[in-house]
Amino acid sequence: MRYGYFDEKAREYVITRPDTPTPWINYIGNGKYGGIVTNTGGGYSFHKDPQNRRITRYRYNNLPTDRPGRYIYVRDRLTGEYWNPGYQPVQRKLDSYRCRHGMGYTVLEGEYKGIAADVTYFVPDDRDFEIWLVQIRNLCHVERNLQVFSYAEFCFWDAIMDQQNVDWVQQINQGRYEDRLITWHPHHFKDACAFFATNAEINSFDTNLEAFIGRYRCESNPIAVETGACSNSVSYRMNGVGAFCIDVNLKPGEEREIIFILGFTENKSTIRDEIRDYLNVEYAKEALKRLKDSWEEYLDKLQIETPDRETNLFVNTWNQYQCKITFNWSRFVSMYSWGLGRGIGIRDSAQDTLGVMHSIPELAGGLIKRLIHCQYTDGRVYHLFFPLTGEGGIGDAPVVKFDWYSDDHLWLPIAANAYLKETANFDFFQSVVPYNDNKTEGTVWEHLNRAMEFTYNHRGPHALPYSRADWNDTLNLDMGNGIAETLFTSMLFSEPPLKRFRCRISDKRIATKYRYWYDEMKQAINEWCWDGEWYIRAFDDEGNVLGSGKNRYGKIFINSQSWAVLSMVAPEEYAKKCLESVYRHLNTKYGIVKVYPAYPEYNPKIGGMTTYPPGAKENGGIFAHTNPWVMIAECMMGNGRRAYQYYRQILPLTRNDDADLLEVEPYVYCQNILGKEHPQFGIGRNSWLTGTAAWNMVAVSQYILGIRPEYDGLTVDPCIPPDWKGFKVRRIFRGCVYNIEVRNPEGVRRCEKNCRRGVETDKIPVKPAGTVCECVVIMG
Ligand code: NOJ
């Protein structure tokens, strides 16, 4: 069954039925004020930090599902019937329904008995508020007397406290009304407040939720809507709502437009000035146009034209869009992480910068510095931090608790390296950033070196990094003996400054040290970790091997194979063999599973991953984030056909017609899909905020199409399926527009003289900013 389609021209995904298998969402806002909007109007809003400054509520794990949201009710005064253009919460069957998720905005369109009502949600000009633009038309031949009601359910700003200390929260909440403006704030805050406003003449209002809903009722049958008037309630305690009732009489063919604004301010007295312009419909529409233009500008940095329309659609629009959303919110706030407890992940956000580096390198550089600020003086980093308060820590990992992850700090050099390749701004190394205690500081270069040193200084009996947990949060081997070791982190350690930066290090002593460290790690990996057909995954805290053919379960893990190639520690023969083993043992039609065979039951010596049943998440699920690493490795080995096969396997839109099985949105990557050992093989979960977005962007643009930024130019090193006759890429790099056409007349899979593993690649030199560079590459 399909629930929608891609409108390529409008860059929208259009949902045509409201009963999607899970709420299919979109994000509004640019990373400051923002929110989640579902296809039936559900969702919530927040300002800078969804844990510490939540604006509206969402009921987690709730039935009925996906409540509450940003609701508009339309009521016919003659019959008393009422409905929502987005179907929820009244759930009256509409004569027609559409939800259009676009770049930074969502439109809900519902028609019922001759009344067409649309509502567009967006955040204008990166302001601290959102607009709901309602358009309501009478399609009948008779005049219609209608009413429009709004509903925004306020949340106490501390979203955890909102659930925990109900007594306190309900005693201090205050809602006030004055001239079409509702304000909402805790009693002890005098200036800061959330607010809700409209441009329309109102019939009545409510600021008190209980008054609007009525006793033993809910969002689907509020007493105010049912009776056709709010009660002008002032809220001295309890719960709050932004509710207006507006009378709308429409002659045949007539249309009316209404604006609602929901937002947050630090200074109550400035609200009216802040929103005045935006209460004007024409001004609001112009702001929507500006928003669309800004997304076009963002996407314009990279546009491709390949023989595969679906790849084009994804790279040109949806994958890039998702990369920006992950850049904004890390893994903090989605339908799976509800903006509680998680914060901005250091490892996650460092990887997220890779997906937007080509389009917004300066913002990416800024985020990298913010992540670097999370570093302890000994070189490790917080696991996550909260953007509003700056507080950081290890987070809320279930089951097993530990004080640092072996890999978090090592993603910083990788991100910094990507920034330098995009910008060549080597002064970045010299910028000074405080350590997380704010008492000491160091240059970026010093920070990155401390990250490397921390790992080098924390190694186990095989000279490999200790493991509490690594990229795989749930592989928790440390039982207190301090000898568990991780191969993944060993390989990650071998990837960045060690190889990449050394060409830029003028200090010969440091360069020699890094070369020595790299050789030492490479030797340890190949001496202790080659299992015959693939690399093992780890040593547990008793010195036993995980990820060996000799193990009964968990014989082969994906990451030690892909990263053996990415880090270039594997000799060619091993590299070929281990990738072949991935194909043979781990590949499925929906993607490559993370480990096989999965562990059948909980094993405290392995930790969190064995809390999952076989085939789920890290225990044998298709953890999509890991798949592009295999694509990249295949490209590095020259296997374009296989890299592309892996790319297509997890391309979400290929499952648009299979949505009842996939369940999650077909327009963005999800984090995980249940694997072949699970009875529900193929179901996706945890859509939107996943490293899958950034790494697929890297895999397809830099390795399959092969357009890679380097310190001194743009490499063109495609590794494509041999039946592609060529492709075009428009890439803006350091201010110059590169129009690159790659032709493949002989049907080869890569340019012969290009080879990632050692040999020189073709490079277009850096051209002056403001120029256009036309470039044709003939493969073969
Ligand atoms: C999700 C986390 O956000 C990410 O940091 C981690 O690498 C994966 N889980 C795998 O465990």
pLDDT confidence bin for 503, thresholds 50/70/90: low
The residue ranges of every structural domain in the chain are: 4-296, 707-778
Asked whether the beta carbons of 508 and 551 are under 8 A apart, the reply is no
Please report the atom of ligand 1 found closest to the CA of residue 690: 3
Does pLDDT of 186 surpass 50? Answer: yes
Give the residue whose CA is nearest to atom 5 of ligand 1: 348
- Round to whole Å and give the CA distance between 439 and 203: 57
Q: Which residue's entry shows tokens 């990650």? A: 492
pLDDT of res. 509 = 82
490 Cα: distance to centroid of ligand 1 (angstroms): 18
| Cα 495 → chain centroid | 24
Task: Write down the mean pLDDT value for the chain.
Answer: 95
Q: Give me ligand 1 centre to Cα 398, in Å.
A: 13
State the closest ligand 1 atom to the C-alpha of 689, by its place in the atom list counted from 1.
Answer: 3
| Rg, the chain, Cα only | 27
Residue among 365, 332, 337, 335 at smallest CA distance from 350: 365
Residue in 46, 26, 25, 196 with CA at minimum distance from that of residue 105? 26
Q: How far is CA 296 from the centre of its chain?
A: 19
Nearest residue by C-alpha to atom 10 in ligand 1: 472
**Measured distance CA(448)–CA(372) in Å, rounded:** 8
User: How far is CA 459 from each of CA 158, 456, 466, 468, 489, rounded to the nearest angstrom?
Assistant: 40, 6, 5, 12, 10
381-439 confidence digits (pLDDT tens): 999 999 999 999 888 766 666 789 999 999 999 999 999 999 999 999 999 999 999 89
Q: Are 103 and 288 in contact (CB under 8 A)?
A: no
pLDDT grade, residue 756 (50/70/90)?
very low
The CATH number of 4-296 is 2.70.98.40
How many angstroms separate the alpha carbon of residue 34 from the centre of ligand 1?
23
How much distance in Å is there from the Cα of 31 to the middle of ligand 1? 21
> What number is the average pLDDT over the span 291-308?
98
What is the Å distance from ligand 1's center to 55 Cα? 27
Structure tokens at 466: 């200790």
Spatial separation of the C-alpha atoms in residues 498 and 515, rounded to whole Å:
6
CA dist 628 → 378, 669, 687 (Å): 32, 12, 16
324 membership: H or E segment, kind and range: helix 319-329
Instruction: Please report the atom of ligand 1 found closest to the CA of residue 472.
Output: 11
CB 393 within 8 A of CB 383: yes
As a whole number of Å, the end-to-end CA separation of the chain is 43
Alpha carbon of 666 to ligand 1 centroid (Å): 21
Assess contact for 83 and 112: CB atoms under 8 A.
yes
Of the residues 66, 162, 308, 473, only one is catalytic, namely 473
Segment 432-469, tens digit of pLDDT: 999 999 899 999 999 999 999 999 999 999 999 998 89
Please tell me what DSSP assigns to residue 142: S
From 326, 334, 348, the mutation candidate for ligand 1 (largest count of ligand atoms within 8 A of CB) is 348
Between CA 39 and CA 101 the distance in angstroms is 8
Query: For this structure, is 378 an active site residue?
Result: no
Q: Find, among 42, 57, 43, the residue nearest to 240 by Cα.
A: 57
Nearest Cα neighbor of 31 from 41, 11, 43, 46 is 46
Residue of minimum CA distance from atom 1 in ligand 1? 473
| CATH class held by domain 707-778 | mainly beta
What is the model's pLDDT at position 747? 82
- Cα 11–Cα 13–Cα 15 angle in degrees, nearest 5: 155
Q: Which of 406, 473, 475, 690 to mutate to test the pocket of ligand 1 (most atoms within 8 A of CB)?
A: 473
Q: What is the pLDDT of residues 51-75, one digit of tens each?
A: 999 999 999 999 999 999 999 999 9
Nearest to 632 by CA among 577, 571, 685, 568: 568
Q: Where are the alpha helices (DSSP H) in 395-486?
A: 411-423, 444-456
Mark 622-649 as b/e (b = at least 16 C-beta within 10 Å): bbbbbbbbbbbbbbbbbbbebbbebbeb
Write the pLDDT tens digit of every residue in 155-173. 999 999 999 999 999 999 9
| Residues 175, 251 contacting (CB under 8 angstroms) | no
Instruction: Give the residue with greater pLDDT, 684 vs 762.
Output: 684
**Which residues lie with the beta carbon below 6 Å from any ligand 1 atom?**
331, 345, 347-348, 471-474, 618
Ligand 1 atom having least distance to the Cα of 474: 11
For ligand 1, atom 11: residue with the closest CA: 472
Best substitution site from 394, 396, 625 to test ligand 1's pocket, by max atoms within 8 Å of Cβ? 625
